[in-house]
Amino acid sequence: MTTPTETPTVRPEEVLIEAISGMLAGLSHVAVGASSPIPGAAAFLTNSRAPTKTRVSILGSERNFFNEGARELFDLAGQGRIDAFFLSGGQIDGQANVNLVAVGDYRKPKARFPGSFGSAHMYYLVPRVILFRWEHSRRTLVEQVDFISAPGVSPANVHRPGGPHALITNLCLFDFDRQRARFRLRSVHPGHSLEEVRDQTGFDFDLPEDGQVPFTPTPDAATLETIRGPVARRLAEVYPTFAARVFDLGSAA
Amino acid sequence: MDITPTSVESLVSQVEDGAMIALPPQYSNCSLVMARALIRRGVRDLHLVGVPQMGLHADLLIGAGCVSVVETAAVTMGEYGLAPRFTAAAKAGTLKVLDGTCPAILTQLQASEKGTPFGVLRGMIGSDLLKHRDDWKVGENPFAENDPIVYLPALKPDFTMMHALKADREGNIWLGVRRELMLMARASAATLVTVEEIVDENLIADPVTAAGTLPAIYVSAIAEVADGAWPYALPGGYREDEAHLREYMTLAQTEEGFQTYLQRFVFDGEPRVAAE
């Protein structure tokens, strides 16, 4: 690995925001669902860099550019009018299956999560779904999920223009290869290592073609200013608690 | 035709044990004042439908023993964490959870809205959701070859319950930017609404407000009650009471703490609402 040029004041959340934003550049319409403050910030960052190019919709916001809420969001996805979306999971496995429901026996689970939200629709229809899971551990990234809210890949006869594009955690960024149904490590966040990623991942994954694992780039000073200023203020409308905790910002709603 | 405003207690007196009730998502127009009144009434075996997800309003009713079935895409306390009484009941196996996904529930309500027996939706094939939903069926697209698609039956709740900023004298309800909530009201047999205030202007006669107005034809009864969404936010009205929600999250982690919460904020009377 090469030594990263670290800015000591960069928050780990800000590394993820920059990395996700890089995957959204050039897209027309990015939608953000429930409980996704870091993806939301990344979408706003992309929009602030290209305000006339990338539209952002946030479920629960009162400032979307459409006016029929969740219903319209899913209808937009059904028609292919959304280019990128985010999903998380209580468990995510090596085939990119997502579990938002339960661990253990479904009828009497050891752990119960909130539920599948829109995953069983959006994962199939949005071309670029970015999986997001802050906690990178063998508890969350497992060999096989206990419940498939939405599968990573589908048989050829199932209508599926969309699917997993990447997985980002507090440790690293993986790309997903839909043909092989496997993750490939793209980069490790500054302050972490390949060994740590291996130790904390419950599934098998590929390394970059050249065997070299780079560090995830950190945002530059101008980007940090944008994240901490206009992006944080827009985020506070929908995620006041996150904005207050990470950016020390009260709700602007 | 005028709708005569009534009391919250009178609204919920219409709800019998076992009723199916559609509720809005946690970020929009929840009538917490009706949820608390339902708990005081001691209603049992409710079937809650999250449109498409639910939060505190569902967690309170579940914790208070009013619910036997939830049909929803999620029960969540959002940024505050897992909904504690839903989680406890699901883990204990005492609550039947009909796990769904947001657009499936919306499609089922749209079928009801149209008066058709079912709707169809892309996605879901290969999800374990289908394994646990006998009422959802994978069929063929009759207009193509080898194109499986999911068929979803129409869903007609007995009631929709919501809270809004205002109603007019005819019973039209102002939803503003939350006009998506019209779907659940159109799909339900009856809709009970609490509002912050009743106004003299006719909301549906003015084209500016008409587009954001739930027509009175879908509205069964209204009660005027200030702070009816509290401790949740009311879009266009007030912000959520973060301190109270955090207190709820702390108390509701245990059955004993939840009972303390119920006593203080439900059974001892409405905490922020002046007596009518």
Q: What are the structural domain ranges in chain B?
A: 8-100+156-266, 103-153
Q: Vertex A64, ends A167 and A241: CA angle to 5°? A: 60
A contacts of B149 (beta carbons < 8 Å): 159
Max Cα separation, chain B? 63
Is A113 part of a structural domain of the chain? no
Q: What is the DSSP letter of A146?
A: S
Q: Which pLDDT tens digit goes with each residue over B93-116?
A: 999 999 999 999 999 999 999 999
A219 to chain B, closest Cα gap in Å: 26
**What stretches of B131-189 adopt beta strand conformation (E)?**
137-140, 148-153, 159-168, 173-174
For the beta carbon of residue B13, count every other beta carbon within 10 angstroms: 15
Q: Both ends of chain A: CA-CA distance in Å? A: 44
**pLDDT of amino acid B276:** 37
| CATH number, domain with residue A237 | 3.40.1080.10
A contacts of B143 (beta carbons < 8 Å): none
Share of residues in chain B with pLDDT > 70 (%): 97
Q: Which pLDDT tens digit goes with each residue over A188-201?
A: 999 999 999 999 99
Residues B267 and A44: their CA atoms lie apart, in Å, by 44
Is A72 part of a structural domain of the chain? yes
* B23, B111, B121, B128, B228 from A79: Cα distances, Å: 27, 19, 12, 24, 37
Is A222 part of a structural domain of the chain? yes
**CATH T-level topology, domain B8-100+156-266:** Glutaconate Coenzyme A-transferase (3.40.1080)
B contacts of A113 (beta carbons < 8 Å): 82
Share of residues in chain A with pLDDT > 70 (%): 95
* A154, B181, B237 from A100: Cα distances, Å: 18, 25, 32
Q: Which residue of B has its CA nearest to A79?
A: B122
Best of A159, A237, A239 to disrupt the B interface (most B CBs within 10 Å) is A159
Q: Which residue of A has its CA nearest to B234?
A: A62
Residues B140 and B150: their CA atoms lie apart, in Å, by 8
Q: Which of A35, A100, A121 sits opposite B121 (nearest CB)?
A: A121
**pLDDT of amino acid A4:** 53
Is A94 part of a structural domain of the chain? no
Q: Which of B78, B132, B183 sits opposite A71 (nearest CB)?
A: B183
A113 and B CB contact within 8 Å? yes
3-class DSSP state of A138: coil
Is A5 part of a structural domain of the chain? no
Model ipTM value? 0.93
A169 to chain B, closest Cα gap in Å: 18
Q: Which of A70, A114, A241 sits opposite B76 (nearest CB)?
A: A114
| Domains held by chain A: number | 1
Q: What is the DSSP letter of B90?
A: H
Q: Are B58 and B70 in contact (CB under 8 A)?
A: yes
A239 CB contacts (<8 Å, ≥6 apart)? Answer: A37, A40, B79
A30 to chain B, closest Cα gap in Å: 18
**pLDDT of amino acid B270:** 80
**Rg of chain B over all Cα atoms, to the nearest angstrom:** 19
Residue numbers of the domain that contains A168? 12-88+119-135+155-247
Best of A38, A99, A100, A116 to disrupt the B interface (most B CBs within 10 Å) is A116
